[in-house]
Amino acid sequence: MHSPDSHTHLEIPGLRMTKQRKEVYRVLVDGPQDHPTAAQILERVKCNQPGTSLATVYNCLEVLVEHNAIKQVNFDRESSRYCPNLREHGHFHDTNSGQIHDITFKPGIQLADILELPPGTSIEEYEITLRGKLKTSEQSS
């Protein structure tokens, strides 16, 4: 028995786990949580599955997203990034370091509570992305 949101056994209900799919998923789940792009994922996948193609990485990412196993994250028109964090969250892009941080709502906050939504709205998905700078201790000039 494991926690309900863990897929660390690398199985996804209803999806045939080929070696490529498994490896793409593995790279996201237990590789660095740095929101890699398809091209970066390909590099990582190649360590264990050399010969994998970029097209396959895109294919795998597509089915994984469709099966709600991972999320696709977009910053402006940059290359899409992918993340295995399935909890509701947004992203903060620190333009100092280039790093992307997951951002959660404060406890008890619901998106619908804070937005002026037209009556009869049903939200299927949302994306919250922030851009700014994280002030580090060594901020001098």
CA atoms within 13 A on the CB side of 6: 6
Candidate list 11, 34, 39, 66; residue touching DNA; CB under 7 A: 39
CA distance 64 to 66: 5
**Contact call for residues 37 and 7 (beta carbons, < 8 A):** no
* Contact between 129 and DNA per CB under 7 A: no
Judged by CB under 8 A, the stretch of 14-22, 23-31, 40-48, 95-103 that binds a second copy is 95-103
Candidate list 11, 30, 34, 62; residue touching DNA; CB under 7 A: 62
* DSSP line for 4-37: TT--TT--BTTB---HHHHHHHHHHHHS--S--B
Least Cβ distance, residue 120 to a second copy (angstroms): 4
11 Cα distance to chain centroid = 18
Judged by CB under 8 A, the stretch of 14-22, 26-34, 47-55, 106-114 that binds a second copy is 106-114
Binding site for DNA (CB under 7 A): 15-16, 18-21, 37-39, 49, 51-56, 58-60, 62-63, 77-80
